[in-house]
């Protein structure tokens, strides 16, 4: 995923790990480059977003009457 602050790619294995920087089960994803706390996106939400994109693309193709 991309960091929402500096825009650099955060490695997938870093995303899987628990924070470790904050005490007590922080669920945010800290960017290894700038330290920004990115909100963790649940897998099902990500799938929903991908579906939305696919739908809008097919809709554009259908729009030739
Ligand atoms: Zn960053
Ligand atoms: Zn944390």
List for the chain the helix, strand, coil content (%; round to 5): 40, 10, 50
Ligand nearest to the CA of 32: 1
Q: How do residues 5-34 score in pLDDT, each as one tens digit?
A: 999 998 888 766 667 767 777 778 888 899
- For residue 22, CA distances in Å to 19, 35, 39, 44, 62 come to 7, 12, 14, 26, 49
Q: Has residue 2 been placed in a domain?
A: no
Q: Has residue 29 been placed in a domain?
A: yes
Q: Has residue 5 been placed in a domain?
A: no
Q: What is the residue range of 40's domain?
A: 12-62
Q: Has residue 31 been placed in a domain?
A: yes
| Whole-number Å distance between alpha carbons of 32 and 10 | 7
C-alpha 60 to ligand 2 mean position (Å): 41
- Domain count for the chain, please give it: 1
Q: Has residue 45 been placed in a domain?
A: yes
pTM of the model: 0.53
pLDDT at 48: 74
Q: Has residue 6 been placed in a domain?
A: no
Q: Has residue 57 been placed in a domain?
A: yes
**What mean pLDDT comes out for the span 32-49?**
78
C-alpha 46 to ligand 1 mean position (Å): 20
């Amino acid at each position: 995923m991309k960091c929402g602050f500096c825009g650099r790619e955060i490695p997938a294995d870093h995303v899987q790990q628990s924070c470790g920087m904050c005490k007590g089960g922080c669920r945010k994803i800290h960017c290894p480059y700038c330290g920004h706390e990115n909100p963790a996106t649940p897998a099902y939400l990500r799938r929903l977003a991908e579906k939305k994109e696919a739908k809008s693309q097919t809709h554009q193709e259908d729009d030739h009457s």
